[in-house]
Structure 1
């Protein structure tokens, strides 16, 4: 099972870089960055807290940090035109020497859309638009020229050069909606990602397999990745809307074993609570030791 770190973009760049370099030096497999312009006010966080921009950050990390894969978790389609994004992704893949994973999602965070005057359509329209965007990404990143006459995106004999180093550059789709989003994953994704403890991931992975069968896709062609708030030492937070694992190294080891048993391909660890009760880099070493076993 691969192991990746997810440093929060709400910390200074030198701290993000420290975490990413430590991951590269000690044997982690990847580093992911979220794509938001501010914290989510709906989650009770300070909406004015400074936040680094994702596209610039992954390019910087790709140049400064060797060996590990660099990925986005995930670019929001509502504010990232897919043709522009394809060119960004291809460039970062060249910067990294073929180590980039393009993570994309439909977009969801209300306050950043409100503040910047960006439309946040109803869910159905958002998913319709996202499906078209994935067609654009597939075309521009994997075909010499692309023409699409869609409802939301129109490309005419469009090019994206240079192409990525990787052929193909992996496209990760983030989301867990069982009716529509996992169908989109089955049709377009090389990698699937969502939040969840092992029982939830196992359930949704089985649903994804059903969608793969319906569209004639080998489910083994889609890697399964997941994340949860991770605490190495200390009490688990109360009232957390996101899944939480750990509390002690022994408890964390039990959950990691469950992830491995359900066939998870990659565990992604947010760094936000790793420093709870222990130095953050030391906590990363503990997590690495547990996963490598």
Structure 2
């Protein structure tokens, strides 16, 4: 699949407002979906506090009619401090944020599956809301985040897919947590697809370069191509259904195309 993040600016750990281009996720995904016909596209993930969930559901239904290769709606509770401050969006406490997020997911799920939705919660009130036209296919709902007590339980209850940045070892642990939540809720854990992402940093490109500080803690596929093949196999063994590889560490389109092309070959051989 092809996935786009939903941010208004780069992150800064200190909360400093940062400059730099950040395309609107909704508009950009519409443009991508109109051109890509053999792969699904998706949001990874929409920040819940940026938009009303009923509006998100209607947008997702529209995307479902545009995206011939399929569309997945990824949503998350929200976390990036600097953009919430700069845009005047209240981030709130973690508890409040997750309460609001759980209600939002219920609203979205209903609007994408029912002709009309009525929902009265503490944060959202929807009354007989339509969502038309309905998409051409069932839209998978992906929940992003790895908080073990609330976020992953919400995923176990309501998601078709779950995603978080993880190493293979962390993915195996988080997947086991998700399985336990599914067991508590009486849901088959096999019903939930698990995806994660890692940055590509092959040795031949990394030589003489450094990873930006803002991305230094993200998981990476790195080293020789043989080492990277082993890392792909480790992700598969940990239960990864889809491994997403952002191109953020490459400084040119040409470099991204070249090394991602090499990676696809290596990954295919590693999984053969």
TM-score scaled by structure 1? 0.85
- In the other structure, the counterpart of 1:64 is 35
Partner SS state of residue 260, structure 2? helix
**Which moves more between the two structures, 40-49 or 193-202?**
40-49
Partner SS state of residue 245, structure 2? strand
- In the other structure, the counterpart of 1:271 is 247
TM-score scaled by structure 2? 0.92
Once residues 90 and 122 of structure 2 are traced to their aligned partners in structure 1, the CA distance between those partners, rounded to angstroms, is 16
- In the other structure, the counterpart of 2:149 is 179
Which ranges of structure 1 fall in alignment gaps of 5 or more residues?
1-29
- In the other structure, the counterpart of 2:211 is 237
- In the other structure, the counterpart of 1:76 is 47
Once residues 250 and 242 of structure 2 are traced to their aligned partners in structure 1, the CA distance between those partners, rounded to angstroms, is 18
- In the other structure, the counterpart of 1:285 is 261
Write the mapping of 1:135-174 to structure 2, written as runs, cut at 5 A.
135-167=106-138, 169-174=139-144
Mapped pair 1:225 → 2:199: no
Once residues 174 and 12 of structure 2 are traced to their aligned partners in structure 1, the CA distance between those partners, rounded to angstroms, is 28
**Which moves more between the two structures, 246-255 or 174-183?**
246-255
Q: For residues 182-211 of structure 1, give each alpha carbon's deviation from its aligned partner in whole angstroms, at most 9, with x where no partner exists.
A: 101100110100001100000000000000
Of 179, 203, 207, which aligns to 2:177? Answer: 207
Partner SS state of residue 230, structure 2? helix
Of 226, 229, 241, which aligns to 1:250? Answer: 226
Quick one: higher RCO (CA 8 Å, sep 6+), 1 or 2? 1
- Does the CA contact (< 8 Å) of 2:43 and 2:75 recur in 1? yes
Once residues 128 and 244 of structure 1 are traced to their aligned partners in structure 2, the CA distance between those partners, rounded to angstroms, is 32
Tell me by how many angstroms 1:260 deviates. 1.1
